[in-house]
Amino acid sequence: MDENRLIEQYGLHESLKFQTADGHIWFDQARMVLMHAATLGELRKELIDQLGCSSAKGILWRLGFRGGQMDARVAAKRATKADDYDSFRLGPAIHALEGMVKSDIVDLTIDWMAASLEGEVQWTSSWEAEAHNELGLPLDEADPTACWSLTGYASGYVSEYFKRLIVFREVECACAGHAKCTVIGKTAEGWGEETPIEQLWLEHGDIRRLEAEEELRVLRRQARQGESPPLTPAKGSIVGSSPAFIRAFSLLGKAAQSSINVLLLGETGVGKEVFARWLHENGPRAAGPFVAINCAAIPLDLVEAELFGVRRGAYTGADETRAGRFERADGGTLFLDEVGDLPLAAQVKLLRVLQTGELERLGDTRPIKVDVRIVSATNAHLEEAIREGRFRSDLYYRLATYPVSIPPLRERGADMGLIARMLVDRFSPSYGKHVPGFTDRALWTLEGYDWPGNVRELENVIERAVLLLDDGQKIATEHLPPELLREEEPAIGVNRGGALVPKLAASCEKMLEDMLVEGFDLATHERMMVELALRKTGGNLAEAAKMLNLSKRQLTYRLNKQGIE
C-alpha cells in the first residue's frame, strides 16, 4: 500500500498543524497530543498491574475504537471525491501518519452494497508490541497478543466507515516472537459468536464498574463521617467547575436555606435570573411562587403599578383592581432585575415595603401584608449611583444584605464545555437534530473568545450552530460566527518528506514543485511577482517591498535590473 501517495493526494499533511505558541497540535478539527511512546507504555503497565490483562485490554481497545471513529470522519471530509477503495485505505495511511503502525493489506474482500468486509492485514512497527516487550509485560496464554488499541482503532475506523460493527482481531503478534503482527477483520456476526466480546466492551465497559465502585466508596466515607453531600447545581439549570464559578456558587449555596435578601452583581448576560431561580428552588420558599420583573423594561409611569398593584379607577385606563408583583410573589421570591434603574419615587415605596412588610396599591389606602424574599440584580455600580443621588443608600443596604458577584463567561474558561453542552441539549430537540458535541478546535475557539455578551451571547451562537449543522454532525468552526474565529499564528505544518516546515512552505510546496517543470524561468516568475505586488499596492514602493519582505532599496534594485518602470 502506498501510504505516502494517499497522504499526499488527499492533503493529510495539510490537516496536521503545530501551533507552538498556543501549545496546540491539530489534526483537522481535533486536538492531538505528541507523547513519548514509553509514557503510554507505562500507562499500559499501570492498567495491567491494577486491573489485570482482561480489563486493561477492554479499556485500551475502546480507546482505540473511539480514535478510529474520529479519524474516519476526518477521512470522509478529505476524500469526498475519492473512490470507495481509496477512501477506505485512508485509515491505515492516517494510522501511519500518527506514528502508530505501518499496515499492509494481505487479503481483502469487500461487499460495498452489503457493507461487509473480510480480510487480513499485517502490521510492522507496532508501538504497542514494542512497548509491551520493552517493559516485559505478561502475555495472556489464551491470547498472546498486545496490539489492543490498534485493533480497536481498525475496528472503530471501519465500523464508522460502514456504519455497522466490524471487528479486527490479532492472531499473531510481534511481542510473541512473530516477524509481524497479523490481524483479521470481519463483521461482528462473521466471528460466529452470539455476542462478540468487543461489543460487550462498547456497551458495558469495565470503566462503568470502576466509576460505580468509586461512588460507593465516597458515599460510605460520607456515611462514616456523618457528612451530607455538597449542594450542587440542579441539572439543566446552572453548571460549572471553574474556580470563579465555585466561589460564587459556594456563596449562593450558603444563602439558599435562609430568607436573607441577596443582591446578584455581574455583567449583562451572565445569567443572574438563572442564579436567582436556583436560589429560590433550593430554599425554604421553593413551594411558593417565583416572580421576576425587569425594572429597566417598564415605563416610568407604570413601575409603581407593576410592583405594588393598582386599585380600579386610580388613573385613566385602570378599569379593574390588579395585584402587583409583590402580592403575586407572596410566600415566595421576587426577583428585581436591573434594580439600579428604579426611579427614586419607586425606591421610596420599595424601602417601606422592605421595612414594614406592608404595601398599598396605587390609588388605595388599605395596607396589604406580604411575605416576600427579595433577590435583586444589577450590572450597574450602585455605589456610584448613590454618590450621584440616583439611588438611595438606605435601600441599597436593605437589598445588599448578602451580595454575590457572578463571574463573566471570559473568567470561566473551564466551564465552557459544560455550558455549551447544556445549551446543545436544550436546542437540539427544537430542531430535531442529534448533536454529538464539538470538535476540539471549535471548543478551543469558544474558550478563547472574550464573550462581551456572556452566556446570553453564547446561547445565540450555539442555537445558530445547531441550526446550521447536519443531523449527527459535531459543531465545528465552520458553524461558528466569523467574529469568533481567532487569527491564527503562522503555524508549522508537515511536508511530503515528513519534516516540520512553516505552514506557508507546507501549503506552497506542491505548487512550487508543479512550477519546476521543463522550461521554468526564475527571472520571469520573479518579475511577475514584483509586478503583482506593485499592482496590488497601487505602485507604492514601500508597501510593495513590505509585501515581498524586501527593503525599499532591494526592490528598487530589482526594478532597475528587470527594466520595470
Q: Over range 466-483, report the average pLDDT.
A: 92
pLDDT tens for 196-228 read: 888 888 876 544 454 454 455 555 555 555 544
Domain of residue 275, CATH code: 3.40.50.300
Say whether both 453 and 305 belong to one domain. no
Contact between 188 and 167 under an 8 Å Cβ cutoff? The reply is yes
Are 163 and 46 in the same domain?
Answer: yes
| 505 and 461 within one domain | no
**Closest of 74, 104, 80 to residue 92, by C-alpha:** 104
Residues 311 and 429 in one domain: no
116-124/102-111 β-pairing: antiparallel
Rg of the chain taking only CA atoms, in angstroms: 33
Beta sheet of 500-502, edge-to-edge order: 30-32, 24-27, 16-19, 492-494, 500-502
The CA–CA distances, whole Å, from 550 to 436, 544, 546, 558 equal 49, 8, 6, 10
Count: domains in the chain: 4
* Average confidence (pLDDT) over 165-179: 92
DSSP 66-122: HHHHHHHHHHHHHTTTS-HHHHHHHHHHHHHHTTS-EEEEEEEEEETTTTEEEEEEE
One domain, residues 260 and 345: yes
> pLDDT confidence of 507, banded at 50, 70, 90?
low
Q: Are residues 551 and 438 in the same domain?
A: no
Chain segment 95-125, per-residue pLDDT in tens: 888 889 999 989 989 888 888 889 999 999 9
Could you tell me if residue 72 is inside a domain? yes
Same-domain status, 359 and 501: no
User: Does 16 fall in a domain?
Assistant: no
Please indicate, yes or no, whether residues 393 and 316 belong to a single structural domain of this protein. Answer: yes
Is there a contact between 528 and 564 (Cβ–Cβ < 8 Å)?
no
Residue 283: name the closest of 258, 306, 308 by CA: 258
| pLDDT in the model for residue 81 | 62
In 238-381, DSSP assigns E strands to 262-265, 290-294, 333-337, 358-359, 368-369, 373-378
Distance, CA of 169 to CA of 185 (rounded, Å)? 6
Contact 351, 292 (CB under 8 A): no
For the chain, percent of residues with pLDDT exceeding 70 = 85
Grid coordinates representing 113 are 452494497
Specify whether 367 is located in the same domain as 425.
no
Task: Assess if residue 6 is contained within a domain.
Answer: no
Residue with cell 456563596: 251
Q: Specify the pLDDT at position 235.
A: 43
Give the chain's count of helices (H) and strands (E): 23, 16
- Domain stop point among 379, 405, 431: 405
pLDDT at 164 over 60: yes
**516-521-522 Cα angle (round to 5):** 85
C-alpha cell at 282: 433550593
Question: Are residue 413 and residue 395 in the same domain, yes or no?
Answer: no
CATH number of the domain bearing residue 534:
1.10.10
**Which amino acid makes up residue 411?**
E
Confirm whether 215 is domain-assigned. Answer: no
Output the furthest CA–CA distance in the chain (Å, rounded): 101
More confident residue, 12 or 338: 338
Stronger pLDDT, 276 or 361, i.e. the higher one: 276
CA atoms within 13 A on the CB side of 525: 8
The yes-or-no verdict on residue 148 having pLDDT over 90 is yes
Tell me how far the alpha carbon of residue 13 is from its chain's centroid: 25
Strands (E), 436-525: 492-494, 500-502
- Is 90 exceeded by the pLDDT of residue 363? no
| Helix, coil or strand: residue 349 | helix
pLDDT score of 222: 55
Identify the DSSP state of 36: -
377-394: burial string, b at 16+ Cβ within 10 Å, e else: bbbeebeebbeeebbbee
On whether the CB atoms of residues 415 and 248 are closer than 8 A, the answer is: no
Find the mean pLDDT for residues 327-345. Answer: 92
204 plus 351 within the same structural domain: no
Q: Is residue 475 part of a domain?
A: yes
CA dist list (Å): 119 to 111, 125, 165, 197, 250: 11, 20, 15, 20, 58
Q: Which of 16-30, 164-178, 537-551 has the highest mean pLDDT?
A: 164-178
Task: Say which CATH number the domain at 476 has.
Answer: 1.10.8.60
Instruction: Report which secondary-structure segment, H or E, holds 559.
Output: helix 552-562
119 is a domain residue: yes
Question: Which residue in 379, 352, 377 sits closest to 367, CA to CA?
Answer: 352
Which 3 state secondary structure label does DSSP give 484?
helix
Cut 0.75: pTM above it: no
Greatest mean pLDDT range, 198-207, 351-360, 487-496, 534-543: 351-360
Q: In terms of domains, do 251 and 352 share one?
A: yes
Q: How many CA atoms lie within 13 A of 144 on its CB side?
A: 9
Is 288 within a domain? yes
Distance of CA 144 to the CA centre of its chain: 40
Cα separation of 184 and 123, whole Å? 11
Instruction: Say yes or no to pLDDT of 425 above 70.
Output: yes
Residue 29 lies in a domain: no
CB contact at 8 A, 481 and 471: no
With pLDDT > 90 as the criterion, what percentage of the chain qualifies? 38
Distance separating the N- and C-terminal Cα atoms of the chain: 54
pLDDT of amino acid 426: 92
- Of the pLDDT bands very low, low, confident and very high (cuts 50, 70, 90), residue 1 is very low
* Domain limits for position 505: 492-562
